[in-house]
Structure 1
C-alpha cells in the first residue's frame, strides 16, 4: 500500500520544531503493509495545504496521512480546509460537545466557544476517536484514496494510528511486507556497505536501508518475499555478528541490563568525562535496580583519589586522563560497591583542554571484571556533548561484548 504523508505547521519549516511525526509514520507503516512514497511538510495556511493535497491526490498512492492543525486556535485550519476541499458541511456533534464541556469543568476550566470546532464532524466523512486528547481525527475518501487527518501532538497521533489507521492499512494492503531492524554499533556506514555489497547485489527483491546515527547504524531490511527476506537476514547476521547488538529494536542499555540480569551479575560506574551518562542510560532501563549498584561521578582528582582509591602518585605521574588512572578508577569502583563489574571513563571531552600528547577527544574506558581490568583507548572528535554520548555508547558496548563471553 502506497502512502503520502503531509505534516502541517510553520514550525516544521522554520526550524522551531523537528518533524518527528513523518519519521515515525514512515517506519511504523512498513510492518502493516504500507510504504511511504511521498513526504511533504507545509505551512498552516489554506493555499499551501490545498496545493499539497492536489499534488498527493494526483499521485499513484492509496492513502494520505496528515498531521497537525486540528486544534481550536486561529492557526489550526486543517479541519476547515478539508471540509471545504471535499465540499463537506460540518455538523456540531452535540454529544461530544457536552463531553468536552464536562471534561473542562472537571479540571476547573471554563470551556471557550473556540473549542466548538473540536466537536464538528463531517457530513460525509468519518471521525477518528482520540483516546488521550480532545482533537479528533478526520477520514475522507476521494478517487479511491483514503485521506486521514490526525493531531500533530506525537503521543496523540501515535495512539490514533495504532487504534485506527494501522489496522486500516493492514486491511487494505494486498501485500504483506516482512521487515526487521538490526541495530549495529562500532562500525561505520561505509564499512557496513563494503561487507554487505556482494549480498545486496545478489538480493534485488530485498530492500536494505542504512540508518546512521551518533550511536551506530540501524539496518532496516524489508521484502514482500518471506523466504528471500529470511535468507537475506540470516546472511546479514552472519556477516555482521560482532557488530549487531539487537534484532528487536532495543537500545544498547536495554541489551546490557538484560544480559546482566540473565547472568546474575552486578555493575557500578566511575565516570569523569561522561558526568554520569553511563549510569543514567543504565537506570533508564527496566530491571536496572537488580544489577546496578551505584556510581561515582569522579570529575575532580580529589574524588578520584578519596572516593575511588586512585593513587595520588598515579595522577601526578600519568595524569587524570591516562590508562593507569582509568584502570584504578574501574578497579576502585568495583571494590567500593562490591560488584562483579566496574566501568570507568576519563577523557578530554573538549572543545578545550587538549594538547599535542593528549588531544581533545582522547578518552580511556576501563572495564574491571572480577579483578581483571582492561583499558581501551579511544580518539573521538571535538564536540563535547557528542563525545560524552559516544563514550557512553562505546562503554556499554564493551560491557556487552564481555558479557557475551560468560
Structure 2
C-alpha cells in the first residue's frame, strides 16, 4: 500500500483569498511542440469540479524573466491559487522553485522535510544522494513539501500574501499522483462550492438552431455554465453535446440545479424541434 501523507489544517494558513486559479505550465518542450500539454486540461477539469475558477492557463519557457513576469502578474491580479507544473527535477534547467524564490525575494534553501523524502527514495534504490538529487529538496523558505508517491521530486506549497503557490512536477503521472493523493483533500476543505455535471446528447438538430435555447438557459441559470460542443457535421450529420456545470453550496443543491437545467433544456428542444434524438 502506498504511504499517503495527510496534512492537518493547522499546518496551513487561512484558505486562499478567493477561488480564482492561475495555471502556469513551464517547459520549453511545451512551446516547441515536442511535448503535448495534457497537464493543463487535466488540472483545469479537476479544479473546476472542486469549485474553483481557472482564470488563466499560461505556458512559459524555462527562463527566469518569462516565468517571473507571469507569476507576478498572477499575484498582482489577486489569484487565490497559482499552480505551476514542471521544473522540479535534478537537471540544470529545472529551476521553478529557484525562480519563485528570486521573484518573491525569499531565501532558497534545503527544506529538511523535502530532503528526507528525497533521501528515502534513493536509499530504497541503494543510490547515493548527489548534489543534483539534493537540489530537488531546495525550496523557498517557508514551503511545505508535497510527497511524490510515484517519483522523486516533491511538490511544493507556499503561502504568500493571501495566495497559495503550488508547484507540481511536469511528468503527468507524478503531477496527478501528488494532486490526488496529497493536495486534493486540502483543496476540498478550502472549496466553498460544489459542482455537478450533466451531458445532453442531441442528434439530428444543428448547433446553430439550438443556440438561442442555450443562450436563454444561460441567462436564466446564472449559477451554471452551459455550453454546446459539436461532435458531428453541421450540414448533414449534426450531433452535439450540451455540457451543464451547475454550482451550489452543497452537493445536493448542485445536483438539483443540474437536473432542473437538464429537464428545462430537453423540454425546450422537444417543444421546438421534431425528428431529433436526445440522450441524457
Normalising by structure 1, report the TM-score: 0.53
**Higher relative contact order by CA 8 Å / sep ≥ 6: 1 or 2?**
2
Residues 44 and 77 of structure 1 are in contact (CA less than 8 Å); yes or no, is this contact kept in structure 2?
A: yes
Aligned to 1:100: 121
Pairwise mapping of residues 21-32 of structure 1 onto structure 2 (< 5 A)? 21-32=39-50
Equivalent of 1:184 in 193, 201, 207: 201
Distance 1:129 1:55 in 2: 28
Matched residue pairs, number? 241
Aligned to 2:180: 162
- How much does 1:8 deviate? 0.6
- Alpha carbons of structure 1 residues 217 and 80: separation in structure 2 relative to 1, 3 Å: farther
Aligned residue for 2:78, secondary structure, equals: coil
Distance 2:156 2:266 in 1: 42
Equivalent of 1:80 in 77, 98, 105: 98
Distance 1:172 1:221 in 2: 23
Aligned residue for 1:124, secondary structure, equals: coil
- How much does 1:148 deviate? 0.4
- Alpha carbons of structure 1 residues 191 and 116: separation in structure 2 relative to 1, 3 Å: farther
- Alpha carbons of structure 1 residues 192 and 33: separation in structure 2 relative to 1, 3 Å: same
Distance 2:32 2:152 in 1: 27
Runs of 4+ in 1 over 6 A off after TM superposition: none
Aligned to 2:156: 138
Distance 1:124 1:92 in 2: 8
- Alpha carbons of structure 1 residues 97 and 163: separation in structure 2 relative to 1, 3 Å: closer
Distance 2:73 2:169 in 1: 21
Normalising by structure 2, report the TM-score: 0.75
Mapped pair 1:222 → 2:245: yes
Residues 34 and 170 of structure 1 are in contact (CA less than 8 Å); yes or no, is this contact kept in structure 2?
A: no
- How much does 1:47 deviate? 1.1
- How much does 1:10 deviate? 1.1
- Alpha carbons of structure 1 residues 60 and 13: separation in structure 2 relative to 1, 3 Å: same
Distance 1:14 1:218 in 2: 32
- Alpha carbons of structure 1 residues 217 and 7: separation in structure 2 relative to 1, 3 Å: farther
- How much does 1:111 deviate? 6.0
